[in-house]
Structure 1
Amino acid sequence: MRRPSWHELQAIKTLGEQRSFRRAAEMLGLKRSSLSHLVKALEQNLGVQLFQRTTRSVSLTDAGQQLIDRLAPLLNEMDKVLHDVSARRQQHAGTLRISASDAAISILLEKVVPGFCADYPNIQLDFAAQGELVDITAAGFDAGIRLIEDVPQDMVAIALGGPLNFITVASPAYLAAHALIKQPQDLLQQQCIRHRLPSGKRYRWEYENAGKRCELDVPGTITLDNNALMTRAAISGLGIAYVPSLYAEAALQSGQLVELLADWRVQSAGLALWFPPNKHQSMALRLFIDALKNSLPRQS
C-alpha cells in the first residue's frame, strides 16, 4: 500500500467535514473532478470505501468516519505548527534602532552582525554611533549599548562579553622625537590625545601593575570623543592615544603603532545592552539580545 500524502489526507478531511464535493473542492482550490479522482484513487489504495456517494449527498462510511476522527486532530496540529512557523518568520522582520558608542559598534560589526544578518535577513539594523549618552526612549531607539559603567541606573542592563583591554599607543615617528616612556607618570611630560566622555568630562587614563594603580589627567592639545579618530591621530604622529585594543590591533601588526606601558594594562568592566524597564521587547530585539549573548559570552 502506498502511503497517502499530506495533501490527500487534507482533502479527505475537508470532504468529510463539508460533505459536499463542490464546497470541499472550492476550499481546497481544486476542480470537483480532480477531488473525486483523488478520493477514488485513495480508496483504491487503502482497499476500503471511505464515502457513500449519491447524486444529492456525500456521507462517511464507518471506516471513513474512523479515519476522520483520528486524522483530524493530527492535521489540525500540523496546520497549527505550519502557521506558527510562518508567523514566526513574519515576526523576524522590521528595523532595530540602537544607540551605541563607536567602540561598541566596532565590536558588534566584527563579532555579532555578520551572523545575525545571515540568520535574520529581514531584520534591518540601524546603528547610531553617538559619543554622548542620549535618552533612547525620547530619541526613538530600541536599545543602547555602552560600557557597563555608563549605563543609566534606572535602566535594565544586560552584561555582554568580557572586559575590554585599554592600551597606550604611539607611532614610531612620535616616539623617535620624544623622551622615553617607562612609567605612567612619564605621560605627564608628553603630548597625549585626550578623550572626551559623553558627560563632557575628559577621561582619566587608568593604569595598574603589581597592585599599584594610578589615574592621570594627561596633557595634550587634541581632544576627541571617538576611539577610531584617536587611533588615527596616533598613527599620524599627533601624540599618544589610550584606546580599546581592538582599535589598534591592525596598526600594531603593521608597525604603524607601538604599544607603550604593556605591563600597566587596565581592563574596563565591558559592554552592556540597556533599555527602559517598561519598554516592550520586540521579537527583533529579543533575537538580537540572544545573538549578543551567544557571540559575546560572559567571561567568569
Structure 2
Amino acid sequence: MIRPSLNDLTAFVTVANRRSFRRAADELGIAPSTLSHAMRALEERMGVRLLNRTTRSVSPTEAGFELLGRLQPALATLDQALDSIATFRGSVTGTVRINAPRLGGTILMRDILPAMAERFPDVVVDFVVEGKLIDIVSAGFDAGVRLVDSIPKDMIAVPFVDAVSFVCVAAPAYLERFGEPGAPDELVHHRCIGHRVPGGKLYHWEFERAGKALTIEVGGPVILDDEELMVDAAIKCLGIGYVASPAAEAALAEGRLRQVLAAWAPAPEAVAVYYPGHRAVPPALRAFLDVVKGLRK
C-alpha cells in the first residue's frame, strides 16, 4: 500500500468532521470536486471505503470512524510540535476565526481588534457576526463569543466584559407623549419593540428587583432581530426597546434615549471568548486570547 500524504489525511479529517465536501473544501481552500477526487484516490490507495456519500451529505464509514479516531490526536500532536517553535520565528502569524453575535462584535471591534492589530500585526482576524447560536467546532471557527451562562460546559471560557446589562430605553418624545412606566407590568399599556431571538421565538423581557424576578410578554408595532435596529426604532419613537447596554450607550449619552425601569434592570452578565478545551491552541488563537486576558489586568 502506498502511504497517504499528510495533506490527504488532513483533508480526510476535515471532510469527516464537516460532513460536507463543500464546507471542507472552503476550509481547505480547494474546489469541492478536487477534494472529492482526492478522497476517492485515498480510498483506492488504502483499499477500503472511508466515506458514505449521498446527494446531500457525507459521513464516515465504520473504517472511516476508526481512522478518524486515531488521526485526530496524532494531527493535534503534530500541530503542537509545529506551534512549539512559533517563538523562534520572532512574530506570530496566521488566521484566527471568531464567531460572535452583534453584541460581542461591537465589544470586540471597540476593545480587542485595535489591540490585536497593534500587538500582532501579522495575525488575521476572520470575524463573523452571526445572530444564531452555533457549534463553533463543526462550523470551523477557532473561538466564539457569548454570555458566560450560555457557553457549553465542554468549552474553556475567558471572560472579558463583566457588566453587560439589559436595559429598557425610550426616546424623550415618546415618554412625553405616552408617559413613563413605573413598573414592568405597566408595559402592557405601552408600545414595545419586539425582539425575535435566533431560534425564531419572541423574547420575553426579563426584570429583577429585590430578589423578585419577572418575565413580561410585550406587544407593539414592530418586531426586530437586530439590537442596533431596535435602538434606531426606539430613537424614532416607535416604542420602548429592551437591549444590551453597549448597544444603547451612545444614544443614552447623547440624550436621544432615556433609560426607564432602571430599578428593575436584571443583574449584569459577563461576556466571554470561548474555545474547545480538547484541542491544541494554535499561535494565532493564543495571541488573540492574550489580548483578551490583557484587558482584564
* TM-score (normalizing by structure 1): 0.65
110-119 vs 196-205, which deviates more? 196-205
C-alpha distance in structure 2 between counterparts of 1:177 and 1:84, whole Å: 62
Measured against aligned partners, the alpha-carbon deviations of 1:156-215 in whole angstroms (never above 9, x if no partner) come to 333333131211101122222224311111112211112222333332222222333212
C-alpha distance in structure 2 between counterparts of 1:275 and 1:292, whole Å: 13
Pairs aligned (count): 213
Identity %: 39
Paired position in structure 1 for 2:183? 183
- The within-5 A match list for 1:1-300 is 86-89=88-91, 92-296=92-296
| Offset at residue 268 of structure 1 (A) | 3.8
Contact 1:161 1:293 in 2 (8 A): no
For structure 1, list consecutive stretches of 5 or more residues without a partner in the other structure.
1-82
C-alpha distance in structure 1 between counterparts of 2:86 and 2:278, whole Å: 27
| Offset at residue 252 of structure 1 (A) | 1.4
For structure 2, list consecutive stretches of 5 or more residues without a partner in the other structure.
1-84
C-alpha distance in structure 1 between counterparts of 2:272 and 2:199, whole Å: 18
Structure 1 residues 130 and 177: alpha-carbon distance in aligned structure 2, compared to 1, 3 A threshold: same
Structure 1 residues 242 and 84: alpha-carbon distance in aligned structure 2, compared to 1, 3 A threshold: closer
Contact 2:180 2:260 in 1 (8 A): no
1:146 partner SS: strand
Contact 2:169 2:257 in 1 (8 A): yes
C-alpha distance in structure 2 between counterparts of 1:84 and 1:105, whole Å: 28
Tell me which amino acid in the other structure corresponds to 1:289. Answer: L
2:278 partner SS: coil
| Offset at residue 255 of structure 1 (A) | 1.7
C-alpha distance in structure 2 between counterparts of 1:218 and 1:152, whole Å: 30
1:126 partner SS: strand
The structure that has the greater radius of gyration is 1
C-alpha distance in structure 1 between counterparts of 2:220 and 2:154, whole Å: 35
Paired position in structure 2 for 1:49? none
Tell me which amino acid in the other structure corresponds to 1:260. Answer: V
Structure 1 residues 163 and 255: alpha-carbon distance in aligned structure 2, compared to 1, 3 A threshold: closer
| Offset at residue 143 of structure 1 (A) | 0.9
Structure 1 residues 138 and 263: alpha-carbon distance in aligned structure 2, compared to 1, 3 A threshold: same
Contact 1:206 1:216 in 2 (8 A): yes
2:125 partner SS: strand
Paired position in structure 1 for 2:45? none
Tell me which amino acid in the other structure corresponds to 1:87. Answer: R
C-alpha distance in structure 1 between counterparts of 2:86 and 2:147, whole Å: 37
Paired position in structure 1 for 2:76? none
* TM-score (normalizing by structure 2): 0.66
1:201 partner SS: coil
